[in-house]
């Protein structure tokens, strides 16, 4: 078997070589390149560049524009992750508990995951059009319903007109977040549904025998703990995706990321600074900060939290 | 502690009937085993007692109280599941505390943080912990209390599951094949431990298994079920020695009982492949099945065709203390050769090699006869017995 | 869980369905807007009229009119037909004729405009070329590597696998800028290569396939070796067929991600319409369109979104499996 072993060894190297090469060139090299460029004032097309030390990083952390970037990105992630998680879990629990049409709801809720986000964002923009958009039309049509008018915001809007949505800086980031949740929660729902089906039925029966009478007791005792690994995974993947939000903002605000840069998220900042304005050094420093943030967060979620939710 | 009464329980899953009118009276403190092959409805019956499944018809009464439609948690029963169903995120101690906290503490007392505000909380928690500790002592699992189920071996999990069931002192224990996930040696060991536990607790046990050895070794009574019917309900000895139904006879006993097609003549005499029984059947004329346990056949060198079955030895199954001789009986009246197994002492078996002819002689009075409806026929001693034996 | 099995609609059930239906309406709202606008005339869109499918009353295609505007020579050529009319009257007559010939149904107008005003077919073709090439190269690279990592013993294997795990942490979009600089330096921006190259290595694909191959018994591979197969043919003739279900799921995952991807094409394709992928095309359409183009634009969006949605509806279980297979980690 010596010959076979040697052949296997040789084949092993031959088989991983292309992957290794591509990983090095496409994934590792750019990180090193970005790290290097972030210390320069390089621009595409310029013959040379100068080392500027940590200037770029200083700008990222001091300029009000990037303060807005950090704010918008953080708010976006901090809202989209928990809300789409809660909605995904809620939808999964409801769908799992209804006797009929569960599959139909599942299909519908999953549609946004399949559709090109850019296209759907453009459609949302239409739907949110202040005068001819269907959203305001629907909202207006409810103004005669008295109970709804008890909601002060709604009452005021009925009197004074409904928001401009995208054009209003008070709502712009909110609308971006709304579309982000709209797109993401179906994915989470499917993951939770898969998690729910893998919970042994006997555990629920044991809980019932042990005296768990209410749905809440069963949820606390069985469902929620057993969904631990799924939940961590959902948080991780939703957070990574949310950090990279771009399509919605580009669709809504091709220039400037919204009224007074209210939706100036990290990916948009990298694109605008590094590609459009050709401030490669500055863009690279945002890239590095951004990347470090994502990778550390992923690691914490995977290593730190996952230990606590895997029981085997 | 309580008796459990089942009367005419029926249940179907869709079109398929799984229980066809089961009546069982389980006495207080009894160890009753529901035994049968998979799919016979025994687990469904247990789950109906537990309340995890609703019956289509009939009544379940626990301690004289009819509990149809009463939630499982209100029936005061504890169940040990095949997979143990321990909560994997809780320690053994917390697992065992769960039934007590869910029962004895109010909703607010079970909420994190808020529970500390409820008066008397600490005292109640202490009582619960003491109860858990006492149970753990009985089961010898105190050192495991702080571990999670994932860190336990199969046998330890089994004990933890028992502990969770025992800790709240239920009216009866329901056990759904609790030993089937253990390895063979541990299973044998746990059999005796469960039997001892039953004696010590004196509580009603209802135990489901497809393993006849478990049923015969532990139970006060065994209910043999097949195809949704209760075939026989009696003590283990009766079930083995006096099966009322051919299916019971075939299901119980290893190696399986020998069954030989036979017939009854006009005088009520039973013959099967030349073998003639000395007792008379209560009816005349008809087809029957004669069933003989391997230990009631003895290989002998000389025998008349009427007292023995002539076979060709095809296999010797050596179990050490005993040897089972497998013979094949061929006859024109049989559609295919019949396999007959006889038990022999090693020195007797040594006389036969594979391919040899052997006579398996029937011990007197030990053959059982089953009619075409598979029910047992009671044979009467014949007046002409000595004559027949001579003939 | 209660022992009494309920039938029919209980209050709880009705409440649940009410919530779920409300959610479904919000989820479906933009799809409804997209499809219904793609069927309506500009006037109907502006006035929010026409119901779900639009009235489908014929409308005048202004572009068609502009294209066929009668000119001097047309008037001269038409003189013999209308001897009794003067030139301006003839012009009026010809205009009326043109307008009459430019009457179209809004739905047809929207969809034909979507395909004629922009090379939408070309965009779709580009989308197919890019997604298919990406998937094939990913498999070509990942499958042998995954096999080597799962089944072959060689020095450094653990190190390579650790590198794979590390690379799983890197989102390709996040390093788009340095990748873009590299491609620009190589003169590769505005090429198919630029669209495909960054995605040729799917560490996720390697990881997934490796986990899958770990479950394939060694005996199968040893049997193939005994039959005299080379390692190369083991990968493609033994491992590939066993991995079909996992590959199918990965294919769906990959195709959906890259058909819908907008960010990366936006970075590396600037201006050359012939290289636009569907989302880029839609955005381009939008930035050049005026208000009267809402209908055709929604038609474009519908055309872009439809293929995956239809495929999803036809093979739901597989799609959900594929999209969520990242959950296998």
- List pLDDT tens digits, range B156-195: 998 899 999 998 889 999 999 989 888 888 888 889 889 9
Any chains having at least 3 CB pairs less than 8 A from chain B are A, C
Q: Chain C closest CA to B107's CA: distance in Å?
A: 20
Given a cut of 60, whether residue A152 has pLDDT beyond it is yes
Q: What is the arrangement of strands in the sheet containing B4-13, beginning at the earlier edge strand? A: B16-26, B4-13, B57-62, B65-66
CB atoms within 10 A of CB C21: 12
pLDDT of residue B80: 92
pLDDT tens-digit series, residues A248-287: 998 888 877 878 788 888 889 999 888 888 888 889 999 9
Average pLDDT, chain B: 88
Residue A54: pLDDT band with limits 50, 70, 90 = confident
Instruction: Assess C196–A contact: CB distance below 8 Å, yes or no.
Output: no
In 3D, which of B164, B28, B159 has the Cα closest to residue B98? B164
Residue % of chain A over a pLDDT of 90 = 25
Given a cut of 90, whether residue A88 has pLDDT beyond it is yes
- Inter-residue contact A8 to C153 (CB < 8 Å): yes
B chain contacts of residue A220, beta-carbon cutoff 8 Å: 110
pLDDT of residue A149: 79
What tokens were used for B169? 């002192």
In 3D, which of C156, C179, C217 has the Cα closest to residue A29? C179
Please tell me what DSSP assigns to residue B67.
-
What tokens were used for C77? 């050529």
- Inter-residue contact C285 to C300 (CB < 8 Å): yes
Q: Which residue has the higher pLDDT, C5 or B220?
A: B220
Residue with tokens 């809004």: C106
pLDDT of residue A278: 87
B chain contacts of residue A214, beta-carbon cutoff 8 Å: 107
- Enumerate residues 6+ apart whose C-beta is below 8 A from A24: none
pLDDT of residue A181: 95
pLDDT of residue B389: 43
Query: Would you list which residues of chain A are within 8 Å, Cβ to Cβ, of chain B?
Result: 200, 202-203, 205-214, 217, 220-222, 225-226, 228, 309, 311-312
Residue with tokens 């109906």: B48
Q: Chain A closest CA to C185's CA: distance in Å?
A: 8
Distance CA B119, CA B325 (A): 73
- Residues (pLDDT < 70) of chain C are 1-8, 288-292, 323-329
- Inter-residue contact B229 to B223 (CB < 8 Å): no
- Enumerate residues 6+ apart whose C-beta is below 8 A from C267: A271, A275, C176, C180
pLDDT of residue C4: 42
pLDDT of residue C145: 93
Mutation for C interface: B14, B55, B57, B71, most C CBs within 10 A = B71
Tell me the mean pLDDT in the region A219-247.
88
Given a cut of 70, whether residue B386 has pLDDT beyond it is no
pLDDT of residue A3: 62
Q: Do A226 and B88 touch (CB under 8 A)?
A: yes
Mutation for A interface: B48, B49, B52, most A CBs within 10 A = B52
pLDDT of residue B26: 93
Query: Would you list which residues of chain B are within 8 Å, Cβ to Cβ, of chain A?
Result: 47, 50, 52, 71-73, 77-79, 81-83, 85-90, 98-99, 102-103, 107, 110, 148-150, 164
Q: Chain A closest CA to C43's CA: distance in Å?
A: 11
Please tell me what DSSP assigns to residue B291.
E
Residue with tokens 């090193």: A32
Torsion of CA A84, A87, A91, A93, to 10 degrees: 110
Distance CA C282, CA C269 (A): 14
ipTM: 0.86
| 3-state class (DSSP) for residue C12 | helix
Torsion of CA B220, B226, B228, B230, to 10 degrees: -40
Instruction: Give B19's strand partners.
Output: B11
Q: Which residue of B has its CA nearest to C1?
A: B52
Helices (H) and strands (E) in chain C, counts: 19, 2
Q: Chain A closest CA to B156's CA: distance in Å?
A: 15
How many contacts (CB atoms, under 8 Å) link A and B?
A: 71
- Inter-residue contact A310 to A228 (CB < 8 Å): yes
pLDDT of residue A312: 56
Residue B1: pLDDT band with limits 50, 70, 90 = low
Do the strands B376-377 and B368-370 form a parallel or antiparallel pair, or are they unpaired? Answer: antiparallel
Tell me the mean pLDDT in the region A185-210.
90
pLDDT of residue B388: 44
pLDDT of residue A102: 87
Any chains having at least 3 CB pairs less than 8 A from chain C are A, B
- Inter-residue contact B251 to B224 (CB < 8 Å): yes
Q: Do C5 and B71 touch (CB under 8 A)?
A: no
pLDDT tens-digit series, residues B318-349: 988 899 999 998 887 888 889 999 999 998 88
pLDDT of residue A309: 66
Query: Any idea what the Cα angle at residue A72 is, between residues A277 and A152, rounded to 5°?
Result: 135
CB atoms within 10 A of CB C175: 25
Distance CA C262, CA B181 (A): 53
- Inter-residue contact A84 to A184 (CB < 8 Å): yes
Instruction: At B59, give phi and psi (nearest 5°).
Output: -125, 145
Q: Do A205 and B83 touch (CB under 8 A)?
A: no
Average pLDDT, chain A: 86
pLDDT tens-digit series, residues A182-192: 998 998 998 89
Distance CA C14, CA A98 (A): 9
Q: Which residue has the higher pLDDT, A194 or A3?
A: A194
Q: Which residue of B has its CA nearest to A216?
A: B107
pLDDT tens-digit series, residues B238-258: 999 999 999 999 999 888 999
Q: Do A209 and B103 touch (CB under 8 A)?
A: no
A chain contacts of residue B94, beta-carbon cutoff 8 Å: none
- Inter-residue contact A101 to C9 (CB < 8 Å): no
Q: Do A225 and B89 touch (CB under 8 A)?
A: yes
Q: Do B87 and A202 touch (CB under 8 A)?
A: no
């Amino acid at each position: 078997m010596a010959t076979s072993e040697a052949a296997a060894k040789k084949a092993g190297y031959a088989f991983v070589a292309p992957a290794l090469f591509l990983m090095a060139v496409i994934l590792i090299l750019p990180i090193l390149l970005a790290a290097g460029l972030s210390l320069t004032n390089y621009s595409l097309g310029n013959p040379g560049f100068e080392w500027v030390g940590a200037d770029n990083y200083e700008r990222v952390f001091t300029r009000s524009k990037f303060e807005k970037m950090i704010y918008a990105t953080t708010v976006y992630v901090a809202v989209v992750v928990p809300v789409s998680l809660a909605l995904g879990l809620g939808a999964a629990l409801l769908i799992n508990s209804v006797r009929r049409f569960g599959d139909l709801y599942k299909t519908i809720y999953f549609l946004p995951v399949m559709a090109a986000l850019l296209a759907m964002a453009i459609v949302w923009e239409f739907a949110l059009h202040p005068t001819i958009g269907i959203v305001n039309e629907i909202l207006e049509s409810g103004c005669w319903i008295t109970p709804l008018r008890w909601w002060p915001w709604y009452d005021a809007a009925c009197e004074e007109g409904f928001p401009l949505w995208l054009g209003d800086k008070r709502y712009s980031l909110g609308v971006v977040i709304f579309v982000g949740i709209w797109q993401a929660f179906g994915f989470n729902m499917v993951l939770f549904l898969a998690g729910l089906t893998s919970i042994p039925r006997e555990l629920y029966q044991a809980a019932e025998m042990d005296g768990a009478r209410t749905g809440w007791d069963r949820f606390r005792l069985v469902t929620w703990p057993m969904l631990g690994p799924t939940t961590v995974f959902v948080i991780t993947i939703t957070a990574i995706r949310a950090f990279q939000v771009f399509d919605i903002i580009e669709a809504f605000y091709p220039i400037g990321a919204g009224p007074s840069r209210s939706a100036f998220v990290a990916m948009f900042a990298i694109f605008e600074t590094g590609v459009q304005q050709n401030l490669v050094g500055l863009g690279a420093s945002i890239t590095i900060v951004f990347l470090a943030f994502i990778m550390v967060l992923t690691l914490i979620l995977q290593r730190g939290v996952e230990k606590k939710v895997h029981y085997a | 502690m309580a008796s459990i009464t089942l009367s005419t329980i029926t249940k179907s899953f869709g079109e398929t009937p799984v229980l066809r009118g089961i009546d069982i009276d389980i006495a207080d403190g009894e160890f009753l085993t529901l035994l049968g092959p998979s799919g016979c409805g025994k687990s469904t019956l247990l789950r109906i007692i537990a309340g995890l499944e609703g019956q289509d018809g009939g009544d379940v009464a626990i301690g004289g109280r009819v509990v149809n439609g009463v939630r499982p948690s209100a029936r005061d029963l504890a169940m040990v599941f095949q997979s143990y169903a321990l909560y994997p995120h809780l320690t053994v101690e917390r697992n065992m505390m769960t039934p007590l906290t869910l029962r004895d503490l109010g909703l607010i007392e079970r909420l994190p943080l808020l529970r500390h505000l409820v008066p008397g909380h600490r005292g109640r928690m202490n009582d619960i912990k003491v109860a858990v500790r006492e149970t753990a002592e009985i089961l010898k699992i105190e050192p495991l209390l702080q571990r999670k189920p994932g860190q336990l071996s199969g046998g330890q999990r089994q004990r933890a599951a028992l502990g969770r069931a025992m800790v709240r002192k239920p009216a009866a224990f329901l056990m759904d094949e609790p030993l089937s996930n253990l390895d063979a040696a541990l299973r044998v060991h746990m059999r005796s431990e469960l039997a001892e536990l039953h004696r010590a607790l004196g509580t009603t046990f209802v135990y489901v298994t497809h393993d006849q050895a478990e049923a015969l070794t532990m139970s006060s009574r065994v209910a043999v079920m097949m195809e949704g019917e209760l075939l026989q309900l009696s003590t283990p000895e009766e079930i083995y020695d006096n099966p009322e139904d051919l299916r019971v006879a075939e299901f119980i006993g290893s190696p399986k009982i020998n069954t030989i097609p036979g017939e009854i003549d006009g005088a009520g005499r039973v013959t099967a492949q030349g073998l003639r029984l000395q007792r008379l059947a209560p009816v005349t004329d008809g087809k029957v099945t004669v069933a003989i346990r391997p230990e009631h056949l003895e290989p002998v060198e000389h025998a008349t065709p009427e007292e023995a079955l002539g076979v060709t030895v095809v296999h010797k199954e050596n179990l050490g203390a005993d040897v089972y001789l497998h013979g094949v009986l061929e006859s024109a009246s049989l559609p295919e050769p019949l396999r007959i197994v006889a038990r022999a002492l090693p020195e007797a078996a040594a006389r036969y090699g594979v391919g040899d002819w052997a006579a398996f002689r029937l011990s007197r009075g030990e053959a059982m006869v089953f009619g075409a409806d598979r029910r047992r026929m009671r044979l009467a001693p014949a007046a002409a017995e000595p004559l027949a034996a001579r003939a | 869980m209660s022992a009494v099995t309920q039938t029919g609609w209980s209050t709880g059930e009705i409440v649940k369905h009410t919530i779920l239906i409300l959610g479904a309406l919000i989820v479906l709202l933009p799809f409804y807007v997209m499809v219904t606008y793609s069927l309506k005339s500009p006037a109907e869109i502006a006035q929010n009229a026409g119901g779900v499918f639009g009235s489908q009353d014929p409308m005048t295609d202004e572009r068609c009119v502009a294209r066929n505007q009668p000119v001097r020579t047309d008037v001269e050529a038409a003189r013999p037909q209308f001897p009794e009319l003067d030139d301006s009257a003839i012009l009026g007559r010809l205009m009326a004729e043109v307008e009459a010939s430019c009457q179209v149904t809004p739905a047809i107008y929207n969809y034909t405009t979507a395909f004629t005003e922009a090379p939408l077919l070309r965009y779709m073709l580009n989308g197919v070329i890019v997604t298919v090439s990406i998937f094939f190269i990913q498999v070509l690279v990942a499958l042998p590597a995954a096999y080597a990592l799962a089944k072959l013993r060689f020095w450094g294997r653990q190190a390579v696998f650790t590198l794979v795990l590390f690379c799983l942490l890197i989102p390709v979009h996040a390093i788009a800028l340095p990748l873009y600089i590299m491609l620009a330096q190589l003169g590769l921006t505005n090429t198919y290569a630029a669209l495909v190259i960054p995605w040729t290595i799917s560490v996720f694909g390697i990881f997934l396939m490796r986990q899958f191959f770990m479950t394939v018994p060694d005996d199968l591979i040893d049997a193939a070796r005994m039959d005299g197969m080379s390692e190369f043919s083991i990968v493609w003739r033994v491992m590939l067929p066993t991995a079909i279900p996992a590959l199918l799921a990965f294919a769906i995952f990959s195709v959906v991600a890259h058909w819908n991807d907008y960010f990366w094409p936006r970075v590396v394709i600037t201006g050359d319409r012939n290289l636009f992928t569907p989302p880029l095309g839609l955005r381009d359409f939008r930035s050049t369109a005026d208000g009267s183009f809402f209908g055709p634009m929604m038609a474009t969006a519908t055309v872009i979104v439809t293929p995956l949605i239809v495929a999803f509806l036809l093979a739901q279980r597989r799609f959900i499996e594929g999209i969520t297979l990242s959950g296998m980690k």
